[in-house]
Amino acid sequence: MDYIHAEQYLYDLRVRGTKLGLENTRRLLATINNPQNELVFIHIAGTNGKGSVTALLNAIFTAAGLKTGVFTSPHLVSLRERLKINNRVISPSQFARYTSRIKNSIEEVTRNGYTPTFFEAVTIMAIDYFHNQAVDIVLWETGMGGTYDATNAVNSVISIITNVALDHCRFLGDTVDKIARDKAGIIKPNSHFLTASNDRAVLEIFQEVCSRQNAVMQAISESCIHPAASSSIKQEFDFEGGCERWANISTNLTAPYQRKNIALAIHAALTFFSRHDSGKLYGSAQTFIRKGLMKVKLNGRFERICSDPPIIVDVAHNPAGIAELKETILTVFPNKKIALLIGVLRDKDYDSICRIIAPIANVIFCTEPVSERKLSALELAKTFRLYTKCPVHDSYSAEQTLDIFLNNRNNSSADVLLICGSFYLIGDVLKRRQLTLLKVHDVQSDYR
């Protein structure tokens, strides 16, 4: 099996839809002798921010010299992005090899009446790959929720829930409390748990689960981060937490909303370094954290893909994420005119998304993500017009909107182009612009 056929084989499994539960995953793991039991996991969940915390921890652990496996979803440009070791995505040949292995496992369990899904297959591939590559630590991001997510078939030494807000309500529940209980299922017995949630009811649920699991809980506040300075390429801050006092820390994650994710990642790293030292660390935790924060790379999170004129892409796709993005735009680009290019999925709360983001836009371009779940541009534009009097367009593609903004910048009604609403939309924009004059992040460098 070559890479093209491997990718197609996995994508063909999508017809099986989404199935929450661990039986398929456990059956598949049994066919490869349960390699997850020999790996060290940090399990990361949350409505928003889990990708950022994963990227931050990856940068820190890599700076510490640990062989770090990372499993994330969804991908932006290539399916191979989901499996990384030390910032390198799995190679095409390795991807094909591990797909062949999981294909054999799927055929075996199918004979016994089980029908694994696309996400379950890729999850098992990741475990198999990381085990065979003998990684020191696995950063293990949930797909959706926690308790019944395929990633929950492992035991983690640390679990993290960034926050809890309404999203995926059809699967996880229609209240924040229900979603919190579902996500809390990743908290394992005798482990450490961290969260940046400040919702009292949510924290009570987490504490209840931690008490039952004999897990140590840490609720992390953004207040441990003291902003010092910021620019278009970095932000600087001081850190104060417990007995630690560090000055003049820099990171290239410039969005103010990243501060709580940075705080969470620092505390999680300190917890790991203090309790799970494998004997491979040479240096101080502070040194590793400083280096990691300076080197962290993260596509699609307030990513500036062009500086002149400013073009920002962000994968914010639910009301909570859009609200944070709105505040960041107002902070970073005060008194600037904003053009908004947005496309969303029809199963999202798009009415709330439109209501939240509309007030900051001077002109809005509605488009459609490349997904069967896309909301029509016409319906999105119709909703926006309920909340704004600015021009709202519904007949341009993402590529056409970029061209309009770049070619008419001198006569434009906007200074900044913000692109958001869906992983699918941001992935499509990044893929299309890689070989153009836009200064897009060099995703190719991650694929060597």
DSSP-assigned letters across all residues of 52-81: HHHHHHHHHHHHTT--EEEE-SS-SS-GGG
Residue 114: its pLDDT value, please?
Answer: 94
Give CA torsion, residues 70, 76, 80, 86, to 10 deg. -30
Cα(8)–Cα(1) distance, integer angstroms: 11
| Rounded distance between C-alpha atoms, residue 394 and residue 365, angstroms | 6
User: Cβ(405)–Cβ(310) under 8 Å?
Assistant: no
DSSP state, 298?
A: -
Kindly tell me the sign of the dihedral angle through the C-alpha atoms of 437, 442, 447, 448: positive
Ranges under pLDDT 70 in the chain: 166-171, 173, 232, 277-283, 409-412, 433-448
72-117 tens-digit pLDDT: 999 999 999 999 999 999 999 999 999 999 999 999 999 999 999 9
**Which residues, at least 6 apart from 363, have a Cβ–Cβ distance to it below 8 Å?**
339, 340, 390, 391, 392, 393, 413, 414
CATH 3.90.190.20 location in the chain: 303-447
42 contacts: CB under 8 Å, gap ≥ 6: 57, 137, 138, 139, 140, 156, 157, 158, 159, 160, 268, 272
CA distances from 83 to 26, 47, 92, 194 (A): 20, 21, 11, 24
How do residues 370-398 score in pLDDT, each as one tens digit?
A: 888 899 999 999 999 999 999 999 988 88
What is the model's pLDDT at position 439?
Answer: 40
Under CATH, which architecture does the 303-447 domain have?
Alpha-Beta Complex (3.90)
Instruction: Write the CB contacts of 405 (distance below 8 Å, at least 6 apart in sequence).
Output: 309, 311, 339, 412, 414, 417
When the candidates are 3.40.1190.10, 3.40.50.150, 3.30.260.10, 3.30.497.10, the CATH number that belongs to 3-295 is 3.40.1190.10
User: For position 445, what pLDDT does the model report?
Assistant: 33
Among residues 371, 377, 299, 306, which one has the least CA distance to residue 341? 377
* Coil, strand or helix at 204: helix
Ranges of CATH 3.40.1190.10 domains, the chain: 3-295
Return the ∠ at Cα 80 (arms to 47 and 445), rounded to 5°: 105
Specify the pLDDT at position 173. Answer: 67
Specify the 3-state DSSP secondary structure of 95.
helix
pLDDT, residue 275, reads 81
Nearest in space to 272 (alpha carbons), one of 78, 444, 64:
64
Q: Give the model's pLDDT for residue 448.
A: 30
Q: What is residue 308's predicted lDDT score, i.e. its pLDDT?
A: 85
The whole-angstrom separation of Cα 344 and Cα 317 is 7
